[in-house]
Amino acid sequence: MTTGGIFAPTIRYNHGTFYILTTYADTFLPFEQNSIIFTTDDIFSNNWTQPMYLDQAGIDPDLFWDTDGPVYLNTGCPESGPEGGITHLSLHFASRYSSQNINDTYQLGRETFLSPVTWSVDGWPCANGGKLITFDMQDPNLPSQSNVSNLLVHNFLSPSLQLGWEFRGTPSRPRWRIENDSMVLRGTVATLSALDGMALVLGKQDALFYDFSVDMSFNPTLPTHEAGIVAWVNDLYHNTIFLVQCQDQTNATCLRTLTTVGERGGEFDGNTTTIYYPLPTGLSNTTQSKSAASVRLHIRATPETYQLGYSMPSDNATTWLTAYTASWMAPHYECRISWQGARMGMYATGSGGVMLEEAVFRNVEVVRGPY
């Protein structure tokens, strides 16, 4: 079954029994989602009960045992009102890296902060002594500076993916493998607008100034075949630069950009803009096939703008082809808020057709700015 996955799990313990509750997202609308619960008496036995489905709508489930005996299921749901469950208190400290409010959210999504918490005599939590949560929270037991490097390189030297990569939907092995220090993707009929079944590998954008680039080679043999890189929010909002057959030229490979542009007014009102860019002739990658085009693709993010571009193996200079406003990386649509933030990654798709050719990606670099 294809679903939106499970999320917001919690584990509880009461009178010798462990409980795990999680939202079962068979839809993306929170007022139509339900939860499932598992229990065990021995958390180390790997002997959990079968899931029991709970018919109370809502997200972020939790259990509350009252002192006089009753047990309450607590879910949050903005559409269901008080009858949908007990209104719950959550301390969400969403980082607001950007100085501008972009559609009531931010392209980096939620981030986690550490903060001291004290409890009042009547049981209410108070974070940071009632003061603002800031970017630089000091703690004598923690390093005063971040050890995150401004340069991150993925060379695919190990047969396993490095930490930080993730899949959209089920990570089926026929769609990807690591071979010869490269990530190899074989596209399916599923496009990036599908909920599952895509050949798509993503990494989280974790800085406002963020440059993602990768070498790739690909030989599209049908007009529907494409492979490239993507700035991803969800199945409705993603912007791509990729290799594809040139229009009306089956023996030539072009770069193509597909972006959502225009001013935001309603929910899903952008104009999709697509442009073909012929590659310089005579380029090939003999490690894949003589006709496979080889190019380095780039996405550069700033707080205001995302740019898509490319560079050639013989020239380190980047040619920027198009740009779009950062507001398209933080959209709202049908309650699907971009809490997780933007991702960047690699993909291949047959766009509804069978695809036997493979796209080869290598030498991924992430540079955190400012540039």
| 163-186 residue pLDDT tens | 889 887 767 778 899 999 999 999
Average pLDDT score, the chain: 79
* Domain 151-368 classification at class level: mainly beta
So what's the pLDDT on residue 364? Answer: 96
Three-state DSSP class for 84?
Answer: helix
Q: Which two tokens stand for residue 39?
A: 């229990």
* CA–CA gap between residue 371 and residue 357 (Å, rounded): 36
* CA–CA gap between residue 340 and residue 106 (Å, rounded): 10
Model confidence at 103: pLDDT above 70: no
State the DSSP code for 82. Answer: G
So what's the pLDDT on residue 32? Answer: 67
CB 271 within 8 A of CB 262: yes
* Nearest 10 degrees: Cα torsion 34, 40, 41, 46: -160
Mean pLDDT of 327-348: 75
pLDDT tens digits, residue range 289-324? 445 788 999 999 998 899 999 998 777 789 999 998
pLDDT tens digits, residue range 8-64? 888 999 999 999 999 877 655 555 678 899 999 998 888 999 999 888 878 888 998
So what's the pLDDT on residue 248? Answer: 73
Tell me how crowded residue 361 is: count the other CB atoms within 10 A of its CB: 26
CB 64 within 8 A of CB 12: no
So what's the pLDDT on residue 89? Answer: 36
N-to-C CA span, the chain: 44
* CA–CA gap between residue 37 and residue 61 (Å, rounded): 9
Mean pLDDT of 186-196: 88
* Nearest 10 degrees: Cα torsion 168, 173, 175, 179: 120
Q: How confident is the model at residue 90 (pLDDT cuts 50, 70, 90)?
A: very low
The structure tokens 């993909």 sit at 347
Q: What are the extents of the domains in the chain?
A: 1-90, 151-368
So what's the pLDDT on residue 311? Answer: 92
Q: CB-based contacts of 305: which residues, under 8 Å, 6+ apart? A: 323, 324, 325, 326
